[in-house]
Each structure stands twice: as structure tokens, then as C-alpha cells.
């Protein structure tokens, strides 16, 4: 591609609306432009990268035996009503009516559409297992779109849906996808991690997320330093920490603590570390209010709590509600004498002599013991794991926390959709049987942003070659110098003929501008061609990755560039 004939509007300054590196760089490098909140135009440079990701995904999906289809973006409400999701899905589902007043939505996902298709077309167990995928624009009316295409409302997604006759076959299909995903992210040149995940409202048994590790990630990932356990913080199981025994066999005492409300204040008041204290939180579900107990230095995991309580509409109570229900302020709540059902985190099971609120404003209890001072409550894993916690899987390792960007998610859905939509096939016995389903998503457009988060420096993007919009950039210092221009054109053509994608900066710009833009755009290899080099009989080949450069004699340049690019591509 010749830069003189390409829309590549680079920006010198950081756009004010961009918060994270990838968003800034995508705007500055002229890859995208915003049209509305969470909605973006893809310019030529950005589209080239997007297509690279798409093709990698397509190749691996095909290799794994999935069949590509293309479903409509616009879907009739009837399908969603069949599975009940028309009501359940909430505000993120963009709904609208057609001319005749019929309800439609812009698809945020396609379980209903694909299941409708296959229930009409698949009749026999002989047609299973089957896996269909598409690469398509989705729309989710995010409450708060942000970070450019990282969390946009319209985005490009690869979604795949598998159908199997039984659990064993589903496990196998899931495994195939899991491996395909590893190949995909590896091919994209990303540093990633597969982690166990909560299945959320979509339901199902097993679920893994694939995360690109990056500081700007919106998710926290816990992983063990000894075994291969890794999980989203939402899901990560807490091991049981060592009991914190009471320093003395003291009796329970009520102490006036007029100024101490928060855990920090209470710990300071009693001059103990926060892990000697217990915090009491009030939550509610449809079933009513509950009191949850956590060690003072621990944090509530609302997903675990919500799953354990098994009610809908889980939420923390507001301070005013707490006061209304218990007659006590938030800062003095405690389990002794509490009239609500109490559930305590596992880490408290063996503790004794702890400090907690006295259920009376301005007072705390010290030296509290289970059974002696209050009945033993139910125990459950309610907290977020912390750095340094022992691993619940292997018991010997400890956990670390990293930030991750979720770029893929695989689920075993079971019969949730096939059953509600009445999909059956005939089995070996000639009986109707409801197949089991799996679904597998990849955020194609998000991968572009994630790749930049992981591959950039102060000057711009440093593409892994598999995603690079161009393999080699040729910087022609002065297009008016005929010898240099001829050489540049000649190299350009040779690169193209060898199947590579070169970018020729043949603009009538000063070399400084070209260098700056080349840094931004981030082609892995570049070559600088000017009159001086031609006179010396050698031009400079540079690496965007490590900034190294070397002089190469003129008649070897094209060959060297081709070999170098192909080497990088084959790794």
C-alpha cells in the first residue's frame, strides 16, 4: 500500500477522550474514529488488523472442524420470548420495532437464532456432533461504554455453538474449542491465560475465560505459583487460612467504642491487626435479609454470596435499610444476638477471641468465641481471594493476582436452550433426544485493543507480526530523488511478489514526520531509503521491536527483508 494514496490520519497529540494506551494509540495511528458512544468507524489501517485477527480465528475454527455460517444481526422478538430472555436480558438488549410494529432486537448473542436453525435442519444423531460459528457484529447497549473498542457497544465477535448427543461428546467438543482458543491466542502473539470462570446468568456447568494479561484489564485473575490453577477473582476458590487463635482465654466483653466504626478504626482502637476483627454485612435477596460475616481484612465476593444464597436480586443493603431492619448503625453490627440468618466465611470457622460489633451503637465485643458466646453459623466461601492466600487446589502453592482483558469465553450450556426451544434429534434407538449445547465466544475487535495494550512503547504500537497491518514499511526519504524512489519501488514490488504486505511511505513529507508515523503504526520491520544510502551503496534496515538497525548493501535488501519477515511469520 502506498501511503500517499491511503487515508491514514495520524495525530500528534493524545485525544482527550482516551484513557488507556490502546484507545489513544488506535486514534493516533488513524485506525479508528468514533461515531457515537461505543460505536466506531474502522479506517483502512485498523481494518487490516481486524481482518488479520479474523483470519487467524477462522483458520483455527475451521481446523477444529467448526463450520462457518452467517446469521442476521437483527432478530425477531419471538425467538427471545421462547427462551424467556426477552424479559430477562435487561437494558443491554437493544430493542426496536419494524414498520409493522413487530418487536426486534439487534443481536447481542445468537443462541436462539442458531438453535432455531439447527432444530429445523438437524434430525439425526448421525449429524452430531456439529459446531457452527460466525464472525459478526454484535450490539450490547452497555451501561457505560469505555476504553474505545475495548468495551464498545457495537463490536465484532466470533461466536460458535456446538451440539452433542451426550455429556461425553460435549466434553470433547468443549475440549476441542479450548485447544483451538489456545492456538488462536498463541497465533496472535498474545500472552494469555485460561482461567476458570463463573457461568453467570447464561447458566451451564463448566466455563473458562481466556484473558490477555495487561495492567489495564478490567478483570482480576488469581493464579497459583505451584500448580496450574487459575480463576477469575469472581470465581477463585479461597483455601482455608490458618486459624487465628485468641491470644488469651478471655471472656467476651462489651467495650465502648464511640469513635470506632470502620474496621481500620476498630483495629486501631484495640491496637490489633484487622484479621482479629470480624465484619458484619447485611445483604438481601428475594428471600429476605441475611447477615454475612467476614474476617476484617477480607473482602466480600458478591457473586459467591449470591450463588450461595441462591436467591434472585442479590444486593448489599444501604446503611439506612440496615438501621431500619436492625435498629443498629452499620459500624456497630455484629452476629451476637442477631435476629437474621447468619452465614460466615470459611476463614472464620476456627477463629476464636475475635472482635465484632455489639449490635448496639458505639459498642464492640471482644473475646468472642463460637458456641460459647453465639451459635455456630453456616460457613461458606464468601470472600475474594487475596495475594498470598494458599491455593485451594494443590494446597502447597500461593496465589497471585493479575489484571486481565477477557478476550474469549467458553461455556458448557447443557440443554438450557435446546430444551426450551424444543430441539431434538433421533438417537440410535429411534427416540427423540435433546442435544447438549456449548457456546464459545471471542471478542475479535477487542483482541486488537488487547494486543496493543500488550505491545507498545512510548512512541507507538509494536505489532506482533501476525497482526501487523504491514510486515515491512519502506521509508522513502525524498520521493523526488529518482534513484531512491526507483529503489524503493523496486523493493516494494519484490516484497509484494513474495506474498508479503509492504507499506511504502512515498509522501512528500519530511523524514522526521515519516519516522514518527512509522513508530506509531508499528510495522515490525522497516527500511530507510534515501540518496545518502544509495551513494554509500547501503541502506538502513531497522527493527521496530528492539530499535536495532543495520546497513545492508543495495542488491541484498529485498532478499533480506523477505527472509526476515518470513522467519518472523513462521515462528
Cα 479 to the center of its chain, rounded Å: 45
Q: Which residue has the cell 447443557?
A: 414
Q: Taking CB under 7 A as the rule, does residue 528 contact RNA?
A: yes
Site for RNA (CB under 7 A): which residue of 7, 201, 387, 429? 201
Q: Which of residues 38 and 296 has its CB atom nearest to RNA in the complex?
A: 38
Site for RNA (CB under 7 A): which residue of 6, 19, 172, 369? 19
Site for RNA (CB under 7 A): which residue of 139, 147, 210, 417? 147
CB of 146 to RNA, least distance (A): 4
Site for RNA (CB under 7 A): which residue of 47, 73, 122, 202? 202
| Helices (H) then strands (E): counts for the chain | 15, 31
Q: Are strands 130-139 and 354-357 parallel, antiparallel or unpaired?
A: unpaired
Stretch that binds RNA, among 11-19, 125-133, 249-257, 265-273 (CB under 7 A): 11-19
Taking CB under 7 A as the criterion, which residues in 223-252 touch RNA?
none
CA distance 465 to 427: 47
The 406-445 site mask, x for binding RNA (CB under 7 A), equals ---x-x---------------------------x-x-x--
Distances (CA, A) of 55 to 135, 136, 227, 270: 10, 13, 34, 62
CA angle (346, 305, 281) in 5-degree steps: 80
Site for RNA (CB under 7 A): which residue of 63, 378, 510, 556? 510
CB of 210 to RNA, least distance (A): 11
Q: Taking CB under 7 A as the rule, does residue 524 contact RNA?
A: no
Stretch that binds RNA, among 166-174, 244-252, 362-370, 507-515 (CB under 7 A): 507-515
Q: Are strands 230-232 and 425-426 parallel, antiparallel or unpaired?
A: unpaired
Q: Taking CB under 7 A as the rule, does residue 38 contact RNA?
A: yes
Q: Taking CB under 7 A as the rule, does residue 375 contact RNA?
A: no
Q: Taking CB under 7 A as the rule, does residue 255 contact RNA?
A: no
Site for RNA (CB under 7 A): which residue of 293, 530, 561, 568? 530
Bridge partners (DSSP) listed for residue 210: 194, 408
The 265-284 site mask, x for binding RNA (CB under 7 A), equals --------------------
Residue 486, number of CB atoms within 10 A of its CB: 12
Site for RNA (CB under 7 A): which residue of 54, 112, 345, 519? 519
Residue 138, number of CB atoms within 10 A of its CB: 21
Contacts with RNA by CB under 7 A: the residue count is 57
N-term to C-term CA, the chain: 25
Stretch that binds RNA, among 120-128, 198-206, 463-471, 488-496 (CB under 7 A): 198-206
The 73-112 site mask, x for binding RNA (CB under 7 A), equals ----------------x--x---------------xx---
Q: Taking CB under 7 A as the rule, does residue 517 contact RNA?
A: yes
Site for RNA (CB under 7 A): which residue of 36, 258, 375, 430? 36
Q: Taking CB under 7 A as the rule, does residue 146 contact RNA?
A: yes
What backbone torsions phi and psi does residue 270 show, to the nearest 5 degrees? -90, 0
CB of 2 to RNA, least distance (A): 16
User: Among 323, 560, 175, which residue's Cα sits nearest to residue 551?
Assistant: 560
**In a 3-state reduction of DSSP, which class is residue 156?**
strand
Q: Taking CB under 7 A as the rule, does residue 498 contact RNA?
A: no
Residues 6+ apart with CB under 8 A from 511: 475, 477, 478, 528, 530
User: Among 137, 8, 44, 50, which residue's Cα sits nearest to residue 452?
Assistant: 50
Q: 119-127, long-range: CB within 8 Å, 24+ apart, which pairs? A: 119/418, 119/421, 119/422, 119/423, 119/424, 122/163, 122/423, 122/425, 122/435, 123/425, 123/426, 124/425, 124/426, 125/165, 125/425, 125/426, 125/427, 125/428, 125/433, 127/425
Share in percent of the chain as helix, strand, coil (round to 5): 30, 30, 35
For residue 528, the surrounding DSSP H or E stretch is strand 525-529
Residues near RNA (CB under 7 A): 10-13, 15-17, 19, 28, 34, 36-38, 89, 92, 108-109, 140, 143-147, 157, 200-202, 302, 315-316, 409, 411, 439, 441, 443, 459, 477-478, 480, 510-513, 515-517, 519-520, 528-533, 539-540, 542
Amino acid at each position: 500500500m502506498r501511503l500517499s494514496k491511503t487515508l491514514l490520519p495520524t495525530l500528534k497529540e493524545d485525544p482527550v477522550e482516551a484513557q488507556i494506551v490502546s484507545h489513544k494509540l488506535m486514534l493516533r495511528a488513524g485506525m479508528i474514529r468514533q461515531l457515537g458512544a461505543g460505536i466506531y468507524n474502522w479506517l483502512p489501517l485498523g481494518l487490516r488488523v481486524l481482518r488479520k485477527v479474523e483470519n487467524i480465528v477462522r483458520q483455527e475454527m475451521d481446523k477444529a472442524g467448526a463450520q462457518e455460517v452467517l446469521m442476521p444481526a437483527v432478530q425477531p422478538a419471538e425467538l427471545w420470548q421462547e427462551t424467556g430472555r426477552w424479559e430477562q436480558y435487561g437494558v443491554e438488549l437493544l430493542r426496536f420495532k419494524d414498520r409493522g410494529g413487530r418487536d426486534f432486537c439487534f443481536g447481542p448473542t445468537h443462541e436462539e437464532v442458531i438453535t432455531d436453525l439447527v432444530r429445523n435442519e438437524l434430525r439425526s444423531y448421525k449429524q452430531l456432533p456439529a459446531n457452527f460459528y460466525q464472525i459478526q457484529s454484535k450490539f450490547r447497549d452497555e451501561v457505560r461504554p469505555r476504553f474505545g473498542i475495548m468495551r464498545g457497544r457495537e463490536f465484532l465477535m466470533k461466536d460458535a455453538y456446538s451440539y452433542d448427543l451426550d455429556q461425553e461428546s460435549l466434553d470433547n467438543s468443549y475440549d476441542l474449542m479450548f485447544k483451538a482458543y489456545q492456538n488462536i491466542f498463541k497465533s496472535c502473539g498474545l500472552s494469555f491465560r485460561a482461567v476458570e470462570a463463573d457461568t453467570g446468568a447464561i447458566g451451564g456447568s463448566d466455563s473458562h475465560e481466556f484473558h490477555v494479561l495487561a495492567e489495564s484489564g478490567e478483570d482480576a485473575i488469581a493464579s497459583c505459583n505451584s500448580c496450574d490453577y487459575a480463576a477469575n477473582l469472581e470465581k477463585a476458590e479461597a483455601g482455608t487460612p490458618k486459624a487465628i487463635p485468641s491470644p488469651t482465654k478471655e471472656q467476651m466483653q462489651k467495650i465502648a467504642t464511640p469513635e470506632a466504626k470502620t474496621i481500620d478504626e476498630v483495629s486501631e482502637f484495640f491496637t490489633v491487626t484487622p484479621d482479629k476483627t470480624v465484619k458484619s454485612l447485611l445483604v438481601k435477596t428475594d428471600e429476605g435479609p441475611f447477615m454475612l460475616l467476614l474476617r476484617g481484612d477480607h473482602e466480600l465476593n458478591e457473586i459467591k454470596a449470591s450463588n450461595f444464597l441462591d436467591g434472585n436480586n442479590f444486593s448489599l443493603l444501604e446503611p439506612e435499610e440496615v438501621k431500619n431492619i436492625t435498629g443498629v448503625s452499620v459500624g456497630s453490627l455484629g452476629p451476637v444476638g442477631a435476629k437474621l440468618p447468619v452465614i460466615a466465611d470459611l476463614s472464620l470457622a476456627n477463629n476464636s477471641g475475635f472482635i465484632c460489633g455489639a449490635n448496639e451503637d458505639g459498642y464492640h465485643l471482644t473475646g468472642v468465641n463460637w458456641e460459647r458466646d453465639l451459635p455456630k453459623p453456616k460457613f461458606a466461601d464468601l470472600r475474594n481471594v487475596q495475594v498470598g492466600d494458599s491455593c485451594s487446589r494443590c494446597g502447597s502453592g500461593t496465589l497471585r493476582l493479575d489484571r486481565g482483558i477477557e478476550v474469549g469465553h467458553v461455556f458448557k450450556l447443557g440443554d438450557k436452550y435446546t430444551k426450551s426451544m424444543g430441539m431434538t434429534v433421533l438417537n440410535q434407538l429411534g427416540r427423540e433426544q435433546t442435544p447438549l449445547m456449548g457456546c464459545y465466544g471471542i471478542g475479535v475487535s477487542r483482541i486488537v485493543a488487547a494486543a496493543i495494550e500488550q505491545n507498545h512503547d512510548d512512541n507507538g504500537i509494536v505489532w506482533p507480526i501476525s497482526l501487523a497491518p504491514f510486515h515491512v514499511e519502506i521509508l522513502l526519504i525524498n520521493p523526488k530523488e529518482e534513484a531512491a524512489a526507483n529503489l524503493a519501488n523496486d523493493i516494494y514490488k519484490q516484497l509484494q511478489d513474495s506474498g508479503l504486505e509492504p507499506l511504502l511511505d512515498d509522501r512528500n513529507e519530511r523524514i522526521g514526520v515519516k519516522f514518527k508515523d512509522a513508530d506509531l503504526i508499528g510495522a515490525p520491520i522497516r527500511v530507510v531509503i534515501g540518496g545518502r544510502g544509495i551513494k554509500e551503496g547501503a541502506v538502513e534496515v531497522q527493527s521496530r521491536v528492539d530499535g536495532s538497525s543495520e546497513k545492508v548493501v543495495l542488491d541484498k535488501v529485498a532478499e533480506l527483508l523477505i527472509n526476515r519477515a518470513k522467519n518472523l511469520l513462521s515462528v
